[in-house]
């Protein structure tokens, strides 16, 4: 159990760093599907930093790799939905 606490502490620190990055703003909250009506037609597994934080608080992450997979999926979703010339994609 101590190892899980140490992992959680490390992941919380990493998440804090990601959230504080100046370019993290598009990822802080879920995409508003009322404003972006077709988002869920394109993205079948939406994820954002608030969901990652909730999962972290629920001890969802048994390893650093699973945490990193969620971060990677978040950026992949962004690039899948947005065209390369948008600030979201970049």
Q: pLDDT at residue 11 above 60?
A: yes
Q: pLDDT at residue 1 above 70?
A: no
Q: What digits encode the pLDDT tens for the residues 15-70? A: 999 999 999 999 999 999 999 999 999 999 999 999 999 999 999 999 999 999 99
Ordered by where they begin, the domains of the chain are 2-81 (1.20.920.10)
**Residue 89 pLDDT:** 85
CA atoms within 13 A on the CB side of 9: 6
Compute the mean pLDDT over every residue in the chain, rounded to the nearest whole number: 94
* Calpha distance 17→57 (Å, rounded): 16
Greatest CA span in the chain, whole angstroms? 46
């Amino acid at each position: 159990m101590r190892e899980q606490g140490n992992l959680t502490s490390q992941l919380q620190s990493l998440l804090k760093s990601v959230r504080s990055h100046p370019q993290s703003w598009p990822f802080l909250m879920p995409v508003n599907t009322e404003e972006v009506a077709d988002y869920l037609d394109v993205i079948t597994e939406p994820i954002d930093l608030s969901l990652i934080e909730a999962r972290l608080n629920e001890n969802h992450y048994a390893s650093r790799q699973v945490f990193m997979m969620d971060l990677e999926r978040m950026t992949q979703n962004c690039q899948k939905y947005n065209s390369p010339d948008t600030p979201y994609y970049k």
